[in-house]
Structure 1
Amino acid sequence: MIIDMTGLRQKLRERQYKVTPQRQIILQIFLDNQDKHLSAEDIHNIVRDQSNDIGLATVYRTLELLSELEVLQKIDFGDGRSRYEINETSTPHHHHHLICLSCGKVIEFEEDLLENLENSIAQNSNFTIVDHQVKFYGHCQECSLKSEH
């Protein structure tokens, strides 16, 4: 499924929410940065760099709303800041993340190695699993090379 502004606007309207200029700006930032996991502060900094006057409180409220509407997925990487990414509902499971403990970089990987384990858990526990998240913490290649020098 291709995620674009038209589909995102439609999702807001379907649930009786207005498509305000501030919401459109924030949605566009996510469309322009689909490979990143952005915090409210990251969004606010981008907005300020674009000379838009949107307060940090508005950014927080918009991110919470878009998360509740499942337009964005809220992710906690254990660094004290919630991060967000566009919620791609076309895949049965979300991608997984590699989180660098040195620089904070987040790298996505798509390979789902847990399918057999998930099926076994579901069967043995009579539990219907609808999703899972995997986060690996370590050091990215750049940080590993720096620490060797």
Structure 2
Amino acid sequence: MDNNVVDIVTNLATPIVDAHKFELVDVEFVQEAKSWYLRLYIDKPGGITINECALVSDEVGEKLDELDPDPIPQAYFLEVSSPGAERPLKKEQDYERALNHYIHVSLYQKLDGEKAYEGTMTDLTPDELTLKVNLKGRIKDLTIPRDKIAKARLAIKF
């Protein structure tokens, strides 16, 4: 992933998204098969609509076209969408909102023999979070150091 593109687009899109009272949840620039995708995930309380996504897409696309030199020399598809039900947890505010919700956590290295856990986040500090997890039929509180978390997101419990 080209972090420079993500940084440039984040800085360009944030004031546009903020002006509409939306939240910029995430920006990613990824190659899938032979195509490049610039994806912006936006949200607001109560959820984002397709028309609101189109509005942000138009405004961000216009601003990107004005940049010289072009920060993205290759052809790409611009997609603006909702982060969905399994929204990523990136910022501190995301973690705080997810307190007492069911989440999925992927780790950089194994903790108690596993690299991924799902459970209800019952506690959150600057250094760690606590998940109430079901391990082989037993409910257990698992404390995870936050610097060991590779990715976290809301999860749907089945």
TM over 0.5: no
Q: TM-score, normalised by structure 2?
A: 0.24
Q: TM-score, normalised by structure 1?
A: 0.25
Instruction: From the two aligned structures, give the one with the greater helix fraction.
Output: 1
